[in-house]
Amino acid sequence: MTATASAMELWRRLALVLGILVGMALFFYVAPAVISATAVNWEQEQADELKSATGLATQEEKRLSALPLEEYIQAKTGGKLVAVDSNQWSDFFAQVQLASDGDYGLSLYGDRVSEEDKDDFWKPAGPVPVFFKPDELPYQQWGLQEGDGQTAYISTNNGKATSYLRLDYHDYQASVGAMSSPYRTAPGWLYHPYRTAGIIVMVLGLLLYILLPRRKKQPDDISYSTGSMVAGDLAGLIILTLFFGLPFLINGGTVQAVTGLWPVTFFMWLMSCLAIYLFYSNAWNASYRIELTPQALYLVTFKGVREICFDQMAGVDLVALRNPGWFRKLFLALAFLSVISGRASSTQPAGSALLADTASYGGLRITERSGSKPIYIWFSDQMGGVIINNFDRVPEAIEAAGVPFNKEPREIEGFSMFM
């Protein structure tokens, strides 16, 4: 008679909960910042100065279009153009140029272009950004400052022609927020760097939940059915995934869920605690079983084994547990408010009030001679159905031991979780 196997019921649910919590946080995590490099064709840029949707060019646009190319470049870059070592960076420029111009298959950086830019329906007319992690480029040496929207220009000369790149700093912690994000973001593996790891963690948690060893139930076990525990775990999984994951979707990322609309996050995560309690309750019920000997009754859970000797029982009462009066009145008030608010066509408030008022759980109350707190064993659901297999053996053993047994149900009020 040991609680070791019962403790596994707690561990399997703990693995599932941690897998969901950690996995979802990793899945929705957004990179703090990235840097994009875009090829620049200054001749084309200058030619486009006179093009506009209205067909009218401003005086400034006319002035820029008339400048010599070198002066035009100086004007557009604000004089902040950094020439880099061609021996070290010429291949980098060439590969970025290919990817930026749409030759993704020919470039080593073809997978660093935004998924929106690769959409054939919205095919861009000009060069597109190529994204990098900040630690992959010496961007500060190239004059790029940290901060969303910061820009710098670099160039290199291979002896035949000069190539130019525009660098942009994208601070996703500043630009990604509640229900909004930049249209053109880095590709998924850069934008969500831990998404694959998150999936692996969630799958690992689920596998541990399924594969951790279970105690093989015997036909004469006095315990709850496995099917009801699985259904409870499924309900907990749905609630936890919904209320824990929604703040990430609403705010755009894991960090943003805390720095953005945190009141919404707080409320939803508070709701997700219901799932945590449900998993804990299911772990307790799944590990719960009653063992009988001629001398005592044993309650086995993941918390341990509690021995209740028959000769130490002062008496046993059959009890019927109803919801507290204030709880029933609360549901009646909500149903009344639903009627006067014009939503009487819905039967849900009235049905909930009726269920709260009529629900009754059957149990045994064991009083010990020591005068300690009574022990309750709840064996029926709110509709009166017996939920513990082979429970009839318990009252038979109590009676056989000569313990005073009052079979006239005594009505009490409260919640079974607190008794």
Task: Give the highest mean pLDDT range of 19-23, 101-105, 186-190.
Answer: 19-23
Among residues 256, 187, 173, 195, the alpha carbon closest in space to that of 23 is found at: 195
Cβ atoms of 17 and 276 within 8 Å: the answer is yes
The number of domains in the chain is 3
332 and 392, same domain (yes or no):
no
Return d(Cα 22, Cα 20) in angstroms, integer. Answer: 6
295 and 170, same domain (yes or no):
no
59 and 103, same domain (yes or no):
yes
Q: For the ranges 56-65, 121-130, 208-217, which has the lowest average pLDDT? A: 56-65
Q: What is the pLDDT of residue 159?
A: 75
Categorize the per-residue pLDDT at 52 as very low, low, confident or very high, splitting at 50, 70 and 90.
low
pLDDT at 365 over 90: yes
Cβ atoms of 240 and 17 within 8 Å: the answer is yes
Tell me the pLDDT tens digit for each residue of 324-356: 777 666 767 766 676 666 554 555 555 555 555
Q: Read off the pLDDT of each residue in 39-63 and give the average, rounded to a whole number.
A: 79
Tell me the pLDDT tens digit for each residue of 305-331: 999 999 999 999 999 887 777 766 676
Q: What is the pLDDT of residue 178?
A: 79
334 and 414, same domain (yes or no):
no
Task: Compute how many other C-beta atoms are within 10 angstroms of the C-beta atom of residue 396.
Answer: 11
Q: Read off the pLDDT of each residue in 9-17 and give the average, rounded to a whole number.
A: 94
**Tokens at residue 141, please?**
């040496």
pLDDT at 20 over 70: yes
Q: For the ranges 44-48, 94-98, 108-112, 295-299, which has the lowest average pLDDT? A: 44-48
* 331 part of a folded domain: yes
Burial of 286 by CB count in 10 Å (0-12 exposed, 13-18 middle, 19+ buried)?
buried
* 23 part of a folded domain: no
Q: What is the pLDDT of residue 419?
A: 55
Q: Read off the pLDDT of each residue in 163-175 and give the average, rounded to a whole number.
A: 92
Cβ atoms of 379 and 390 within 8 Å: the answer is no
Q: What is the pLDDT of residue 246?
A: 93
Outline where 2-68 has alpha helix (H). 4-27, 42-47, 59-66
What's the mean per-residue pLDDT of the chain? 86
Q: What percent of the chain has pLDDT over 90?
A: 52
Categorize the per-residue pLDDT at 63 as very low, low, confident or very high, splitting at 50, 70 and 90.
confident
Strands 405-413 and 313-322 come out as parallel
Task: Give the highest mean pLDDT range of 117-121, 200-204, 286-290, 321-325.
Answer: 200-204
347 and 373, same domain (yes or no):
no
Q: Where are the beta strands (DSSP E) in 274-381?
A: 289-292, 296-301, 304-309, 313-322, 360-368, 375-378
Q: What is the pLDDT of residue 380?
A: 85
176 and 186, same domain (yes or no):
yes
178 and 298, same domain (yes or no):
no
Residue in the structure block whose two tokens are 């160039």: 155
Looking at this protein, which amino acid is placed at residue 383?
Answer: M
301 and 336, same domain (yes or no):
no
* 213 part of a folded domain: no
Half-sphere exposure of residue 351: CA atoms within 13 angstroms, side-chain side: 4
* 200 part of a folded domain: no
Q: What is the pLDDT of residue 349?
A: 53
337 and 375, same domain (yes or no):
no
* 226 part of a folded domain: no
Return d(Cα 347, Cα 335) in angstroms, integer. Answer: 9
3-state secondary structure of 240: helix
38 and 86, same domain (yes or no):
yes
DSSP for 98-151, written as a single string: HHHTT-GGGSTTGGGB-TTTT-GGG--SS---EEE-GGGS-TTTTTPPSSTT-E
Range of the domain at 335: 325-353
Helix 262-287 with 4-27: angle, nearest 10 deg: 160
Q: What is the pLDDT of residue 204?
A: 97
